[in-house]
């Protein structure tokens, strides 16, 4: 069974990228003329191989050669990333794409690591008996909070209390629904919620555009998943907990870290593209925002209450894992994203909102959703002759073609829940859960048992209601 | 031979050398968590871990780790679910959860887990 699944997966990925490349190469000149966004020749098709290899290793490493992978993944990710970097430097002479990707990576890891460390210094203790309704309430609150402190912050803050409450009846589905809702779908309402929306905001989309245009899709999706969770959770009777006394108390420790979270949230806006008075540090691949975020990482760790860190079993390993893997992912996906973006641009006129929704979504499930979002946003704008690099045109696009921006935004955020590598917090939640002694499903089992049977029908219904035949 | 309670009350520590852990009491190990590894197979066929009970101590080998002090960081612990040797293994009340903190000079600090630390049996 496993080799079949593996070969199917390889086939799908190879097909996806080889087709994208063929279409893209045929149309390279046409696109360069029409979009103005492309300044370099297209990479060769074979340059997507390191990316495919890395994805396959991330998927199969923990499954088939766990300890080799655990000890060598940083070197493997760096090596594969380096092959693409060398190709871009030596063959394509394209430093622009590399610097741009480095800047995006630094922004990504600055936000993720600062939220991770700051929320690691906060301890929430909920001494209540686990019930399906209490779990639903926590998942709902987490989905809302994800829009205020990001999906990473909300995940780090709530995963431990969520496991503790359910300690007598915990099953993998508890954690999977946590990943679905709090680590991904919940954060679709604000630019702080999920990195792709933040990139859209930096390009000119109004801060409140997302909540205004996505809430009526967010609410039924969240409620539907909560109902599914409630039904599954109601059938789980767990162990008898008759001997345990619950005080019903909710404790909150580490208030000063709320201050650090606020600093991170405010610093999100400190971008020359948003506030003109903020100095740009160009050509450096980072800005004031990233410096503040990395400073928060250092200060919040150094000043943290050791008792809270101990209770949270704080460890840099989960963020280290994300940092190394995503160095490799960001570097190796440069050619893949360029090829996909070109194809999307070529076919722009034939693509409706539904196709943008599915294509942004399915790729976001396995690539980082932030650059995927930008590429498809660029392609969707190209369909109407608009340029993503001009803020006024982005605003115009958001105003006059909300269906397309909505499709790309929802696709990027929602589908991040499709796999462990779809979004940064997914991996962190998995790691924390395993360290608590709960065996989590493998990469493939996560998709086969949970995301495909639960999320794909949900996303299909969304497509049917909102995008079928529209645009 | 000391009991687990005596070890905990007197603050006695265990020892580690590379991937070998020595605990100053006798116990059957039911579950061990080290990093992301959840180990429940301690059979002779296991390539992950093995434990042996001697007259005065219990020894555990984590074969996948060369030196646990390199893998288990400051706020991390090795977590064990165990039953003191001689007690009824089938009575859940006898299942104890302990954390091992890796300290300098080969010392293993032994602590009974409180409610703050997550360990699902």
Q: Per the structure, how many domains does chain A have?
A: 1
pLDDT of residue A40: 61
Closest chain B residue to A169, measured at CA: B120
Query: Per the domain annotation, does A247 fall within a domain?
Result: no
**How far apart are alpha carbons A44 and A46 in whole angstroms?**
6
* Alpha-carbon gap, residue A11 to A90, rounded angstroms: 30
Cα–Cα distance, A390 to A404 (Å, whole number) = 17
* b/e A388-427 (16+ beta carbons within 10 angstroms → b): beeeebbbebbeebbbbbbbbbbbbbbbbbbbbbbbbbbb
Q: Is residue A243 part of a domain?
A: no
Low-confidence ranges of chain A (pLDDT < 50): 1-38
Q: Which residue has the tokens 């921006």?
A: A405
Q: Kindly state the percentage of chain B with pLDDT values over 70.
A: 98
- How many angstroms separate the CA atoms of B40 and A299, rounded? 39
Can you give the pTM of this predicted structure?
0.79
Angle of CA points B52, B53, B59, to nearest 5°: 55
A305: CB partners within 8 A, 6+ apart: A121, A253, A254
Is A317 part of a structural domain of the chain? yes
Q: Which residues does chain A have within 8 Å of residue B118's beta carbon, measured at their own beta carbons?
A: 160, 163-164, 167, 313, 435-437
| Mutation for A interface: B75, B76, B113, B115, most A CBs within 10 A | B75
What is the model's pLDDT at position A2?
A: 38
Q: What confidence tens digit (pLDDT) does each residue in A429-451 have?
A: 998 899 888 989 988 899 999 99
Q: Would you call A453 exposed, middle or buried from its count of C-beta atoms within 10 A (0-12, 13-18, 19+)?
A: exposed
pLDDT of residue A11: 39
Chain B nearest CA to A27, separation (Å): 47
Q: Which residues, 6 or more positions from A154, have their beta carbon under 8 angstroms from its beta carbon?
A: A142, A145, A146, A148, A182, A183, A186, A187
Considering CB atoms only, which of B75, B115, B121 is closest to A437?
B121
Is A245 a domain residue? no
Contact assessment for residue B32 and residue B63, using Cβ atoms and an 8 Å cutoff: no
What is the pLDDT at residue A16?
38
Contacts A–B by Cβ distance under 8 A: 62
**CB-CB: which of A306, A311, A431 is closest to B36?**
A431
Choice among A6-10, A179-183, B38-42, B49-53 with the minimum mean pLDDT: A6-10
Q: What's the pLDDT score for residue A26?
A: 39
**Burial (CB count <10 Å: 0-12, 13-18, 19+), residue B8:** middle
A410 domain-assigned: yes
Structure-token match 């999100």, residue found: A268
| B109 touching chain A per CB within 8 A | no
pLDDT of B105 above 80: yes
In a domain, A296, yes or no: yes
In angstroms, rounded to a whole number, what is the distance separating the alpha carbons of residues A400 and A405?
10
In contact, A172 and A440? CB cutoff 8 Å: yes
Q: Is residue A372 part of a domain?
A: yes
Q: Report if residue A471 sits inside a domain.
A: no
pLDDT at residue A328, as a whole number? 92
Backbone angles phi, psi at B107, to 5 degrees: -90, 140
- Sort out which chain A residues have CB atoms less than 8 A from B33's CB and list them: 434-437
CA distance A333 to A386: 25
Query: What pLDDT score does A242 carry?
Result: 54
Domain that holds residue A61: 3-36+43-238+252-466
- Tens of pLDDT, residue by residue over B73-87, are 777 789 999 999 989
- Residue A160 has its nearest CB partner, among B36, B73, B118, at B118
Interchain pair B73, A316: CB under 8 A? yes
């Amino acid at each position: 069974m496993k080799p079949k699944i593996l070969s199917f997966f390889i086939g799908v990925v190879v097909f996806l990228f080889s087709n994208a490349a063929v279409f893209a190469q045929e149309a390279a000149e046409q696109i360069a003329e029409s979009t103005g966004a492309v300044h370099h020749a297209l990479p060769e098709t074979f340059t997507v191989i390191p990316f495919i290899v890395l994805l396959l290793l991330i998927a199969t490493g923990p499954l088939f050669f766990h300890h080799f992978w655990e000890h060598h993944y940083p070197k493997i990710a760096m090596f594969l990333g380096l092959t693409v970097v060398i190709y871009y430097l030596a063959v394509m002479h394209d430093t622009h794409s590399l610097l741009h990707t480095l800047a995006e990576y630094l922004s990504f890891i600055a936000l993720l690591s600062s939220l991770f460390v700051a929320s690691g210094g906060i301890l929430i203790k909920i001494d209540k008996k686990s019930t399906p309704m209490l779990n639903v309430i926590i998942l709902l609150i987490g989905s809302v909070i994800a829009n205020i402190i990001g999906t990473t912050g909300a995940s780090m803050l709530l995963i431990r209390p969520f496991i503790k409450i359910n300690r007598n009846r915990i099953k993998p589905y508890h954690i999977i629904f946590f990943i679905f809702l709090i680590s991904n779908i919940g954060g679709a309402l604000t630019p702080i919620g999920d990195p792709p929306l933040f990139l859209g905001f930096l390009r000119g989309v109004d801060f409140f555009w997302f909540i205004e245009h996505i809430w009526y899709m967010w609410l039924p999706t969240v409620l539907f998943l909560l109902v599914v969770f409630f039904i599954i959770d109601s059938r789980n009777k767990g162990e008898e907990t008759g001997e345990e006394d619950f005080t019903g108390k909710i404790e909150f420790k580490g208030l000063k870290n709320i201050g650090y979270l606020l600093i991170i949230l405010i610093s999100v806006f400190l971008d020359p593209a948003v506030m003109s008075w903020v100095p740009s540090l160009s050509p450096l691949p980072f800005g004031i925002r990233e410096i503040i975020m990395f400073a928060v990482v250092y200060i919040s760790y150094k000043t943290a209450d050791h008792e809270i860190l101990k209770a949270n079993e704080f460890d840099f390993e989960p963020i280290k894992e994300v940092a190394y893997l995503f160095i490799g992912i960001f570097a190796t996906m440069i050619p893949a994203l360029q090829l996909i973006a070109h194809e999307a641009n070529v076919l722009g006129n034939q693509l409706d909102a539904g196709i943008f929704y599915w294509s942004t979504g399915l790729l976001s499930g396995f690539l980082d959703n932030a650059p995927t979002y930008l590429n498809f946003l660029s392609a969707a704008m190209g369909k109407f002759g608009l340029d993503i690099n001009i803020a006024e045109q982005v605003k115009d696009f958001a105003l006059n073609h909300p269906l397309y921006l909505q499709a790309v935004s929802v696709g990027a955020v929602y589908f991040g829940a499709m796999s462990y590598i779809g979004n940064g917090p997914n991996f962190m939640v998995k790691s924390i859960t395993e360290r608590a002694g709960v065996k989590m499903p493998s990469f493939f089992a996560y998709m086969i048992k949970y995301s495909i049977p639960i999320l794909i029908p949900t996303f299909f219904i969304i497509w049917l209601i909102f995008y079928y035949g529209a645009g | 031979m000391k009991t687990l309670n005596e070890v905990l009350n007197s603050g006695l520590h265990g020892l580690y050398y590379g991937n070998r852990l020595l605990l100053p009491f006798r116990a059957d190990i039911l579950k061990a968590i080290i990093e992301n590894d959840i180990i429940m197979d301690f059979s002779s066929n296991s390539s992950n871990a093995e434990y042996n009970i001697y007259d005065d101590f219990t020894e555990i080998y984590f074969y996948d780790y060369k030196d646990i002090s390199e893998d288990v960081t400051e706020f991390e612990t090795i977590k064990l679910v165990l039953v003191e040797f001689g007690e009824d293994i089938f009575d859940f009340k006898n299942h104890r959860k302990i954390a091992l903190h890796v300290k300098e000079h080969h010392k293993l600090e032994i602590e009974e887990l409180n409610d703050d630390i997550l360990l699902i049996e």
